[in-house]
Amino acid sequence: MNVYRYEQNPLVTPADVKPHRADFEVIGAFNAGVTTYNGEIIMVLRVAERPISADPEIVKAPIYNPETNELEIFEFRLDDPAYDFSDPRVIRENGSTQGFKYLTSLSYLRIARSKDGHQFTIDDQPFVYPSNELEVFGIEDPRVTKIDDTYYIYFSAVSPVGVGESLVSTKDFITVEHHGMIFAPENKDVLIFPEKINGKYYALHRPVPKSVGEPEMWIAESTNLLYWGNHKYLLGLREGMWDSGRMGGGAVPIKTERGWLELYHGATTDHRYCMGAVLLDLEDPSKVIARSDKPILEPEADYEVDGFFGNVVFSCGAVVEGDVVKMYYGVADTSMACAELSLQEIIDSLTYIK
Amino acid sequence: MNVYRYEQNPLVTPADVKPHRADFEVIGAFNAGVTTYNGEIIMVLRVAERPISADPEIVKAPIYNPETNELEIFEFRLDDPAYDFSDPRVIRENGSTQGFKYLTSLSYLRIARSKDGHQFTIDDQPFVYPSNELEVFGIEDPRVTKIDDTYYIYFSAVSPVGVGESLVSTKDFITVEHHGMIFAPENKDVLIFPEKINGKYYALHRPVPKSVGEPEMWIAESTNLLYWGNHKYLLGLREGMWDSGRMGGGAVPIKTERGWLELYHGATTDHRYCMGAVLLDLEDPSKVIARSDKPILEPEADYEVDGFFGNVVFSCGAVVEGDVVKMYYGVADTSMACAELSLQEIIDSLTYIK
């Protein structure tokens, strides 16, 4: 697989983003949804900020209060025996090995714009910010599907009651309409197809069940993009492979002659995140045709290996021009990068099922 | 609270149900959805059957194979160190304290009919049986909502990829139309309201998130009963109370002058299941008006305390006649019982919010 990483990578870093409050610092500008608008490439960045802590023994957790519409800052001492601070992203109750009680940063959406896809200008203000009780811990990992003249932007809404997927829409990247939560907890990595297929909209989604089952990919259908049903299991983890631990949709599905090409992320159980691809039937996207036995992109560059949470390449969007797939992707839960791949090469690299 | 338990309780027991295969035994006839049809009270029973094991050292797990449309029987030795058999309902991988790998019984739906609501005649054959890859471990805990002349029956579909909620419909309790999975894993205890409210259908549901959040009640809306969205968090666990461990909807919401009355189940963390009630706003059922501080029904009778999984009362349906609520309920994951309560007394017993 020929992968051309841009010389300017990482294209956007936390240092490029002005904090939205003077007492906060930006620690991530990553996992951006990507689309084109008015001749520009638009990144809808996930920006993660945390309250500045003068005391290294104090960890702070920012919490959005939907009743006052203000952020509240909770403080924890690193030596507090009630909590586990070993994962820098989260605060866990001591003894619990998974999940979290609080997040150490607040994520929201912010726009970056580019004429050439390499040099981006970042808006001064947040674009979509937590605004209700389902977004108390922030909003994460947006994707953007353009249908007609409307851009549908959907993201993980994170709060103490769960992580689900919420939807907003815009026509101009200024005014935003809110459509509520479209996939109930626990769910992430929703990808809405860019057109109806035989009269129905489709979306990939990635539930995280508790009693039985794994974080794997499902597909659902809709007539209005707001209400979803006929959920079907689509694609599972593969023991011993690059997508053995968890997985989820990445970029908006790309229509090709051979099928719908989905660029998806997979991780091993030790959290090494790679990108691969799956090909779905054009007429019935609940049918899997072919799949990557090996990743099409792995964390190899310095900026992919090192960072806030290293060894991560995680795409939430791509721009396709002819055979060129410009895959934008978050690196190390820190910054944004881009790599160009050949659409044909990706398709040729897949292993066909049966 | 005056509770009149029927003298004939339990009304239906496993001994009353003929196994659907000669090599199986019925171990549960419980958690029935309830409705009325042609002047009769219909129970849509959850029947649980397990393969007869001649060797007490062998535990068997029945698995539906959607490709062959046959049951397969997996066998496990009780001394197999790979598995934990301490919960008679499930087989866990050793070391895992929650969830399950296999179930020890297969559940499906079967109909019981009664003229008087006390004496039931049970159909000879299954009514709805596992029929696809999302039902490999069985189907459980049906509820029935009648809208116009159609009965919508929905239940937990259980398989290795998760537990979600699937929907079928019937007009005659003979012919069944399948509508697929309406709530993706992990979800149970869906309750569809019996009429549109301001132009939309509503359903309660009970996700079980993994990373953050608890098994609590949510509400969603729909225009066609098949596709659901605008998920909102509705009702949570209460520390130290009867619903501190888990909870979920029970009977189809009952329309009263004061609001929609939902009879729901709550359990403590040591798995004592009780029934209580919550009152929701008539015009906007996402608003909670009042709630039971104490249960309206607790496991007290012998048949509620002792059984396959004791200390459980769990209602999936009620019939309301004037002020009389005939609450049918599963007891001890084994049998069906019924208790009559006064609608007015239930409403008067609630504690109003704020």
Among candidates A184, A209, A222 on the partner chain, residue whose Cβ is nearest the Cβ of B205: A184
Positive or negative, the CA dihedral A247, A251, A253, A257 is negative
B343 vs chain A: nearest CA distance in angstroms?
A: 31
Per DSSP, the residues of B136-201 read TTEEEEEEEEEETTEEEEEEEEEETTEEEEEEEEESSSSS-EEEEEEEPSSEEEEEE-SS-BTTBE
Residue-wise DSSP of B56-87 = TTEEEEEEEETTTTEEEEEEEETT-TTEE--S
Q: Closest to B209 (Cβ–Cβ): which among A186, A221, A233?
A: A186
How far, in Å, are A50, A114, A254 from residue A342 at the CA level? Answer: 38, 22, 13
Contacts with B214 from chain A: Cβ below 8 Å: 161
Cβ-based neighbour number of residue B79 at 10 Å? 8
Quick one: tokens of B265? Answer: 């189940």
The mean of the pLDDT values for chain B is 96
- In chain B, the residue whose alpha carbon lies closest to the alpha carbon of A184 is B231
Instruction: For B223, name the nearest residue in chain A, comparing CA atoms only.
Output: A227
Residue A354 clears pLDDT 90, i.e. is over it: no
Q: Tell me which chain B residues have a C-beta less than 8 angstroms from the C-beta of A137.
A: 212
Residue A310 Cα, gap to closest chain B Cα (Å)? 21
Nearest CA-CA distance, residue A256 and chain B, Å: 28
Q: What is the CATH number of the domain that holds A179?
A: 2.115.10.20
Indicate if the pLDDT at residue B210 is higher than 90: yes
**Is the model's pLDDT at B135 over the cut of 90?**
yes
The predicted-structure confidence for B70-119, as pLDDT tens digits, reads as follows 999 999 999 999 999 998 889 999 988 778 999 999 999 999 999 999 99
Contact state of B180 with A212 under an 8 Å Cβ cutoff: no
Please name the residue of chain B whose CA is at the shortest distance from the CA of residue A93: B212
Cβ–Cβ gap A231/B182 under 8 Å: yes
Distances (CA, A) of A74 to A19, A84, A135, B212: 19, 15, 16, 18
CB-nearest partner of B98 from A162, A179, A211: A211
Q: How far does CA B128 lie from the centroid of its chain? A: 15
- B-chain CB neighbours of A231 within 8 Å are 164, 180-184
Pair of tokens at residue B283: 């015009």
Residue type, B9: N
In this prediction, residues A131-149 reach a mean pLDDT of 98
Count of Cβ atoms closer than 10 Å to residue B29 Cβ: 28
Mean pLDDT for B133-158 is 98
On whether the CB atoms of residues B343 and B36 are closer than 8 A, the answer is no
Q: Please, are residues A162 and B213 in contact by the beta-carbon 8 Å criterion?
A: yes
Per the structure, how many domains does chain A have? Answer: 1
Quote the tokens at residue A182.
């479209």
Q: Do A210 and B182 touch (CB under 8 A)?
A: no
Percent of chain B clearing pLDDT 90 (strictly above): 94
Question: pLDDT-based confidence at A77, cuts 50/70/90?
Answer: very high
Distance of residue B324 Cα from the nearest chain A Cα, in angstroms: 35
Q: Give the minimum alpha-carbon distance from B53 to chain A in angstroms, rounded to a whole number.
A: 25
How far is A100 from chain B, CA to nearest CA, in Å?
Answer: 6
Residue B265 has pLDDT above 80, yes or no: yes
Contact criterion met (CB < 8 Å) for B180 and A228: no
What average pLDDT score do residues A271-293 get? 97
Nearest-Cα residue of chain A relative to residue B137 = A212
Query: Quick one: pLDDT at residue A223?
Result: 98
Domain that holds residue A128: 4-352
- H or E, element range at A13: none
Give per-residue pLDDT as tens, B43-78.
999 999 999 988 999 999 999 999 999 999 999 999
Whether A307 shows a pLDDT value over 90: the answer reads no
Q: For position A98, what pLDDT does the model report?
A: 77
Write out chain A residues lying below 8 Å of B140, CB-based: none
Question: Which residues on B lie below 8 Å from A232 (Cβ)?
Answer: 134, 180-181
The complex's ipTM?
A: 0.96
Q: Which of B163, B182, B205 is nearest residue A211 as measured by Cβ atoms?
A: B163
CA dihedral B72, B73, B74, B78 (to 10 degrees): 170
Chain A residues with beta carbon closer than 8 angstroms to that of B210: 98-99, 186, 208-210
- Which residues pair with residue A28 across a beta bridge? A48
- B185 contacts on A by Cβ (under 8 Å): 207, 209, 213
Is there a contact between A222 and B227 if contact means CB atoms under 8 Å apart?
Answer: yes
The nearest CA of chain A is from the CA of B127 a distance in Å of 22
Nearest by CB to residue A209, choosing from B163, B224, B230, is B163
pLDDT of residue B246: 94
State percent of chain A over pLDDT 90: 94
Q: pLDDT band at A97, cuts 50/70/90? A: confident
At A258 the pLDDT is: 97
* Partner-chain contact A229 B205, CB within 8 Å: no
For a pLDDT cut of 70, what percent of chain A falls above it? 100
Rounded average pLDDT over A234-244 = 97
> Which residues in A lie closer than 8 A to residue B288 (C-beta atoms)?
none
Q: Read off the pLDDT of each residue in B279-297 and give the average, rounded to a whole number.
A: 98
- Looking at residue B111, its pLDDT comes to 98
How many Cβ pairs within 8 Å bridge chains A and B? 160
- For residue B180, list chain A residues with Cβ-Cβ distance below 8 A: 229-232
Tell me how close the Cα of B149 comes to any Cα of chain A, in angstroms. Answer: 23
Which residues from chain A sit within 8 angstroms of residue B154, using beta carbons? none
Q: Is the pLDDT of residue A308 over 90?
A: no
pLDDT tens digits along A175-233: 999 999 999 999 999 999 999 999 999 999 999 999 999 999 999 999 999 999 999 99
Share of chain B above pLDDT 70, in %: 100
C-beta atoms of B231 and A181 within 8 A: yes
Tell which of A159, A178, A233 to mutate to test the B interface (max B CBs under 10 Å).
Answer: A233
Q: Report the residue from A187, A211, A230 with minimal CB separation from B181.
A: A230
Length of chain B: 354
pLDDT at position B268 = 94
